């Protein structure tokens, strides 16, 4: 790292290391873990529901708390994955494969401690890579103009659609719904009202907060109720740091070092791709470790590397998702899409100029990730029994609390009952999207990026006097067009490759026939 980066990082640490910010950091980690422990909720829901708590704070303090909620909830889902075989959200599904078998063998303590260690190592590696890569990428993208920005938005959405879900058509439909919601309000060019239906409260458009709270808060809640979570009796495995066998042994540490490192690097690389997310990173890391293992048959039966690798990957991916957010202004996941909405709400525009125009804010966020990882590790090691006990609370008791939090949080933003109605409608929409494999993440990302895409496209057409040839006259635009073309043909190429492999006849064995 250059001295300039170290100096800026030192400035960020000084900004965060105030009593108020450290308290907010600890509070964010605790709240995030509580949200993560609740089945069906995850980082996206946690940030959306708790975002209104930050409105009275300074932007740096607010984003420090929200980022702490983000990576705190990532680990909270691991606790339920290991103890009761119920992932807190999709990114911790892979943690159930070997985490729950370890708990059944009486090794819940070592499993949770190793998962906490993997989260700390992956988060620290991810933050180091952010510190080194973000300034370089920001300086590169600072030369981008409206054409490149428009193509970047399309590339981010196309990446999300290609990677996420089983049906890419449904992913595209989800994104189009988000774009449609983004058109509500006043036309930025002509000043005419669009789709407001005479409501003065819709003149400024549909705020992302009621949409995000509805989709990820109420929507996830309705889907959990539909699956019958409220009828299940809570299962519980007792863990205590003061009991024998709670801490991992040397064998656990020895066999987990390499998977932890590989999972961290792989997760960060996957997380930097807009739309890939922690779920893809954790499942991919699990597959890689199983293929490299000397005893792959042990995976799924309580192999410590099978827990450590995906846990490191999903936490590193959450760090990697910050790269496109800070340097390009494009969220890498649903959680960072909500963070982007918070940035815009505080009058900050993430992108190439953020680190130049608001260095204290940007580097304060990066510094908070270093401090937050340390705080998360300490809290995890000694408070695991406390968070584990939350899993004993019946979901039928948690559901009314979540509904009240969603409603109260939405109403306190602007004091609007119309937005509460939008939140409820989006909750119903989120349920059906989960039910029929549509992508709430694609909808929210398109809603946040829609105005940016519209404005950059209008600016591009004004610059080129309406000629689309401008997209092939700039080197960066050409590179992005090639990327978009590759994303467009990638699904078809993968299908053709799989079909060709399926048609290849098995190689005959035995003696060759003689003529």
Residue 249 neighbours by CB under 8 Å, 6+ apart: 110
State the average pLDDT for the chain: 78
- Output the pLDDT for position 63: 81
Going by C-alpha positions, the residue among 387, 293, 456, 458 that lies closest to residue 79 is 387
Task: Print pLDDT tens along the chain (515 aa).
Answer: 455 777 777 877 888 888 888 888 888 888 888 877 776 667 777 787 777 778 778 888 888 888 888 878 777 777 777 776 666 666 677 788 888 788 878 787 788 888 888 888 888 888 888 888 777 777 776 677 788 888 877 877 776 666 554 567 787 888 889 888 888 888 877 778 888 887 787 888 888 778 888 887 788 788 878 877 656 555 555 565 566 667 788 888 888 888 899 989 988 888 777 655 677 788 788 888 888 888 888 888 888 888 898 888 888 888 888 887 777 777 766 777 778 777 777 777 777 677 777 777 778 888 888 888 888 888 877 777 776 666 566 767 777 887 887 888 788 767 788 888 998 999 999 899 888 888 887 788 788 778 878 888 888 888 888 888 888 888 878 888 887 787 677 666 766 776 776 665 544 545 544 43
Q: Which residues pair with 388 in a beta bridge?
A: none
For residue 343, what are its two tokens? 């940035």
Identify the H or E element spanning 95: helix 93-104
State the angle between helix axes of 3-16 and 19-37 in degrees (0 to 180), rounded to the nearest 10: 80
225-247 tens-digit pLDDT: 887 765 655 555 556 556 666 77
Cα pseudo-dihedral 171, 176, 181, 187, rounded to 10: 150
Q: Which residues pair with 73 in a beta bridge?
A: none
CA distance 412 to 414: 6
CA distance 231 to 249: 38
498-512 tens-digit pLDDT: 677 666 554 454 554
CA atoms within 13 A on the CB side of 274: 25
CA distance 18 to 182: 38
DSSP annotation of 347 reads T
Taking 3-state DSSP, the helix, strand and coil percentages for the chain, each rounded to the nearest 5, stand at 75, 0, 25
Identify the H or E element spanning 299: none
119-142 tens-digit pLDDT: 888 888 888 888 887 777 777 766
For residue 187, what are its two tokens? 């036309």
């Amino acid at each position: 790292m250059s001295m300039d980066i170290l100096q800026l990082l030192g400035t960020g640490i000084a900004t965060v290391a105030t009593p108020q910010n450290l308290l907010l950091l600890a509070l964010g980690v605790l709240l995030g873990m509580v949200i993560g422990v609740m089945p069906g909720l995850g980082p996206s829901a946690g940030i959306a529901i708790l975002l209104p708590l930050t409105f009275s704070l300074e932007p740096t303090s607010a984003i420090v708390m929200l980022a702490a909620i983000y990576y705190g909830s990532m680990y909270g889902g691991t606790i339920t994955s290991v103890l009761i075989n119920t992932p807190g959200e999709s990114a911790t599904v892979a943690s159930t494969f070997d985490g729950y078998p370890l708990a059944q063998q009486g090794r819940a303590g070592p499993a949770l401690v190793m998962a906490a260690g993997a989260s700390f190592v992956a988060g620290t590696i991810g933050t180091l890579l952010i510190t080194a890569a973000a300034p370089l990428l920001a300086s590169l993208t600072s030369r981008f103009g409206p054409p490149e920005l428009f193509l970047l938005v399309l590339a981010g959405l196309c990446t999300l659609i290609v990677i996420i879900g089983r049906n890419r058509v449904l992913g595209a439909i989800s994104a189009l719904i988000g774009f449609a919601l983004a058109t509500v309000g006043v036309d930025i060019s002509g000043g005419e009202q669009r789709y407001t239906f005479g409501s003065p409260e819709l003149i400024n458009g549909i705020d992302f907060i009621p949409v995000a709270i509805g989709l990820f808060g109420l929507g996830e809640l309705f889907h959990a109720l539909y699956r019958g979570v409220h009828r299940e009796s809570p299962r519980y495995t007792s863990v205590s740091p003061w009991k024998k066998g709670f801490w991992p042994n040397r064998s656990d540490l020895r066999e987990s070092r390499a998977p932890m490192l590989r999972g961290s690097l792989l997760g960060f690389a996957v997380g930097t791709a807009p739309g890939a997310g922690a779920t893809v990173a954790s499942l991919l890391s699990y597959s890689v470790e199983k293929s490299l293992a000397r005893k792959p048959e042990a995976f799924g039966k309580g192999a410590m590397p099978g827990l450590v690798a995906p846990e490191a990957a999903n936490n590193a991916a959450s760090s990697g998702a910050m790269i496109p957010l800070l340097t390009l202004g494009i969220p890498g996941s649903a959680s960072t899409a909500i963070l982007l909405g918070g940035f815009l709400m505080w009058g900050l525009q993430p992108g190439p100029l953020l680190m130049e125009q608001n260095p204290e804010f940007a580097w304060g966020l990066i510094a908070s990730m270093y401090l937050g990882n340390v705080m998360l590790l300490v809290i995890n090691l000694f408070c695991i029994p406390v968070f584990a006990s939350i899993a004993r609370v019946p979901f039928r008791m948690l559901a009314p609390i979540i509904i009240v939090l969603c409603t109260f949080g939405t109403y306190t933003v602007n004091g609007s009952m119309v937005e509460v109605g939008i939140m409820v409608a989006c909750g119903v929409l989120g349920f059906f999207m989960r039910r029929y494999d549509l992508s709430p993440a694609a909808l929210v990302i398109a809603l946040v990026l829609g105005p940016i895409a519209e404005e950059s496209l209008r600016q591009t057409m004004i610059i080129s006097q309406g000629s689309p040839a401008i997209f092939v006259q700039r080197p960066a635009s050409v590179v992005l067009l090639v990327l978009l073309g590759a994303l467009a043909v990638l699904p078809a190429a993968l299908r053709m490759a799989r079909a060709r492999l399926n048609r290849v006849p098995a190689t005959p064995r035995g003696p060759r026939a003689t003529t």
